[in-house]
Chains A and B, each alone.
Chain A
Amino acid sequence: DAGITQSPRHKVTETGTPVTLRCHQTENHRYMYWYRQDPGHGLRLIHYSYGVKDTDKGEVSDGYSVSRSKTEDFLLTLESATSSQTSVYFCAIGTDNSPLHFGNGTRLTVT
């Protein structure tokens, strides 16, 4: 797993509640990514970070925010969860020109 831990692994929450997913890495890697995976869409990039306090948007960033206060932690926050954000969320580390190493995902259900 290249030293990547995602927490929680499963979460059920209600519409309108805030949710924070955590990604922790022990590889001291500069780049970290958040993807979501949905049937029929594959993996889609939400946000990424290229260093502490340096983040940028991916292709499906609406409704999500991220923070990176330490190299090892990358947090994904849903300020007000919606049913369309029910998905499996994957964190990854790597660079644009090298393979990505993924965590084992967080399955989020918004009821």
Chain B
Amino acid sequence: SQKIEQNSEALNIQEGKTATLTCNYTNYSPAYLQWYRQDPGRGPVFLLLIRENEKEKRKERLKVTFDTTLKQSLFHITASQPADSATYLCALSSSNTGKLIFGQGTTLQVKP
């Protein structure tokens, strides 16, 4: 069955460091992958979309890579700030339905 895995353990890093979050998937051939940010009590907010023919995408301090051979996406936040503390979700288009399937999310805590 199709499966998306994100590290369920919280990631704690020091302010100024680069945070790297991982999204692995199995039994998928997604056309694209998306990353969202979710704050407590709020809905997810879209951050970046990367297509299968793109290796890397950047937006300000954010960078996403997409390796269809490894079936993995990495999400980087450089020069992290306490305001970056949130839960980050990856989402893939289901090869069965075309609808977005979400991972469980990884919580990032940036300490000052």
Contact = CB atoms under 8 A, between A and B. Distances in A.
Contacts of A99: 34, 46, 49
Contacts of A96: 93, 98-100
A41 B46 contact: no
A102 B44 contact: yes
Taking residues whose C-beta sits less than 8 angstroms from the other chain, chain A's interface range is 20 to 34
Contact of B43 (A48, A58, A105): A105
Contacts, number: 52
A105 B100 contact: no
Interface in A64-111: 90, 92, 96-105
Nearest to B102: A43
Contact of B104 (A33, A41, A58, A90): A41
A102 B32 contact: no
16 contacts: A1-B43, A35-B102, A42-B4, A42-B102, A45-B99, A90-B43, A90-B44, A96-B93, A96-B98, A98-B49, A100-B46, A100-B100, A102-B44, A102-B45, A104-B41, A105-B42
Interface of A: 1, 4, 33, 35, 40-45, 48, 58, 90, 92, 96-105
Interface of B: 4, 8, 31-32, 34, 41-46, 49, 89, 91, 93, 97-105
